[in-house]
Amino acid sequence: MSTKNAGGRKVMPYKSVPALKEKPWGGQRLKQYNKEFENENIGESWETDKDTMPVLIKLIDAQDILSVQVHPNDYKALLFEGQPRGKTEAWVVLECDEGAEIVAGLAADTDCLKVSDALEHGDIGSCLNMIKVKKGDCIYIPAGTVHSLGKGIVVYEVQQPSDLTYRLYDWDRKDANGCSRELHIEKALSCIDFDISDIRVRNLYHQDFAEGQKNLVFCSDYFRTYYISLAQAQSWSFRNSCFTALTLISGEGWISDWDKKEGLKRGDTWIVPEIFRSTIEITAKEPAEIILTEHD
């Protein structure tokens, strides 16, 4: 049976074909998530298409620290770039080195003048809110939040379908030609929401989450994200009512609908179009974990 309707739009569930992005801070760890590449430093695997889907999902391997950056909200994206969407995002830490840290927000009592002065004097670190992370940590990053992934962290990222990023600082990093990446200090300063404080970190494994059920992790105007854990040979099923993307973050299993059954490996993302209304079933070949994101 065809997976598309007469207009060429996919209507049946399908495995996404990721777009791999080489980055100066990337590494090799996404090979452990069923991504195929040679010796490139792959930093991002785009699991969904930002131009045709309502959310952009990435697997990110930060083998070096990312730039200190901020994303615009919808209003600033339209004002500065003529684009309809800003970028609110969220992270789930899939693995990390011991002692790994992220930047999430600014230090207390930091204002625009302090950030500008710190940038001028090469002391941006004094303005940043550093948080140590561990496997399973969940961090919501609303647009306007200064942030950065630290060295040695792999995350599942869900975000608005936009890639607007304004860099404040890039750790004086140079490329192979001795050139620095572009900074966007004026726009970044304009986009920072200095009222954002108290970035909360919750851990998947410290919650009273029920096995074999959808457990809410993030809920926003832009996406809802859930965590599902399955024991060996356990099945979980759902009937779709909106755009859904599910990613297996550990283990192995099968995914099936009314007319097919296919293998599911760590790192695989399956798209269930909003028009598909039949039941989807996931069965764990071994203990498995799923992150599922919905968009109405």
Span 169-202, pLDDT tens digits? 999 988 778 889 999 999 999 999 999 988 999 9
pLDDT score recorded for residue 99: 97
Identify the CATH number of the domain defined by range 208-295: 2.60.120.10
The answer to whether residue 160 scores a pLDDT higher than 50 is yes
The C-alpha atoms of residue 252 and residue 232 are separated, in whole angstroms, by 9
pTM, 2 dp: 0.95
Going by pLDDT thresholds of 50, 70 and 90, the confidence category of residue 9 is low
Domain ranges within the chain, ordered by starting residue: 65-203, 208-295
Q: Looking at this protein, which amino acid is placed at residue 182?
A: E
Give which of 12, 197, 194 is closest to 114, Cα–Cα: 194
CA distances from 61 to 94, 179, 215 (A): 10, 23, 25
Span 241-290, pLDDT tens digits? 899 999 999 999 999 987 789 999 999 999 999 999 889 999 999 999 99
Span 212-250, pLDDT tens digits? 999 999 999 999 999 999 999 999 999 988 999 999 999
The C-alpha atoms of residue 77 and residue 79 are separated, in whole angstroms, by 6
Q: What would the mean pLDDT of 17-33 be, rounded to a whole number?
A: 97
Average pLDDT, the chain: 94
pLDDT score recorded for residue 4: 59
The answer to whether residue 124 scores a pLDDT higher than 70 is yes
The C-alpha atoms of residue 81 and residue 90 are separated, in whole angstroms, by 23
Span 140-159, pLDDT tens digits? 999 999 999 999 999 999 99
Token digits of residue 292 = 């599922």
pLDDT score recorded for residue 237: 96
Q: Which residue has the tokens 């598909």?
A: 276
Does 208-295 match 65-203 at the fold level?
Answer: yes
CATH class of 65-203: mainly beta
Residue 24 CA, chain-centre distance (Å), reads: 18
pLDDT score recorded for residue 6: 38
The answer to whether residue 7 scores a pLDDT higher than 60 is no
The answer to whether residue 5 scores a pLDDT higher than 70 is no
